[in-house]
Amino acid sequence: MRTVVVDANVLVSFFVDRNAKQRDAADELLRRAEAGKLAAIVPQFVVLETAYVLQSQYGVTGENLASVIRDIVVTPGVQTIDICPWPRVFKLWPNPLPGLADASIVAVATTHRLRRHRHLRPETLQARERPRRGLVLVTNHNVPHVPCAGL
């Protein structure tokens, strides 16, 4: 079964009607996870980042926010994990990846040979493959390519 690491952008796009294409892509990913076609891995720090963004940027608070977070962690096919491979994060951040969240997602994915999924506009996506392990990192064009070899 294919396994993907989900970032906060996917979850925020699912719950907030900010971009129809992103919401549809997030919906499709979560439907596939719920149907057992893939395993969606959501690191604990992604849940916390999602809560922060929903609260600070979109005004979701109290029981509404708690309901959203519960929905994330109990969705069939979604597995929350509490690990963050900090030594690997510090190899990636702040150089070559300037964002701590992006470096953490890539570190989780490469440590556990998973896939990282970010659904952005198709024209802004770049796929990178690591032939030895078949790892595909899909990143926004604003995030520099991280050579997977040796990570």
**pLDDT, position 34:** 95
Is 58 among the domain residues?
yes
Q: What is the rounded distance in angstroms from the CA atom of residue 20 to the CA atom of residue 32?
A: 18
**Distance in angstroms (rounded) separating the CA atoms of residues 6 and 38:** 12
Q: Collapsing DSSP states into helix, strand and coil, what is residue 58?
A: helix
Domain assignment of residue 34, given as a range: 2-119+134-138
Instruction: State residue 110's pLDDT score.
Output: 86
* Cα–Cα distance for residue pair 106/89, rounded to 1 Å: 8
Count Cβ atoms below 10 Å from residue 43 Cβ, excluding itself: 24
Q: Which residues of the chain have pLDDT under 50?
A: 116-151
- How much is the pLDDT for 61? 93
pLDDT of residue 114: 63
Q: Which of helix, strand or coil describes residue 146? A: coil
Domain count, the chain: 1
Q: Please give the pLDDT value at position 123.
A: 33
Query: What pLDDT score does 109 carry?
Result: 86
Does 129 map to a domain? no
Per-residue pLDDT tens for 58-99?
A: 999 999 999 999 999 999 999 999 989 999 999 999 999 998
Please indicate, yes or no, if residue 147 is contained in any of the structural domains.
no
In a domain, 54, yes or no: yes
Strands 2-6 and 135-140: unpaired
The answer to whether the pTM exceeds 0.95 is no
What pLDDT sits at residue 112? 75
**Residue 10, domain CATH:** 3.40.50.1010
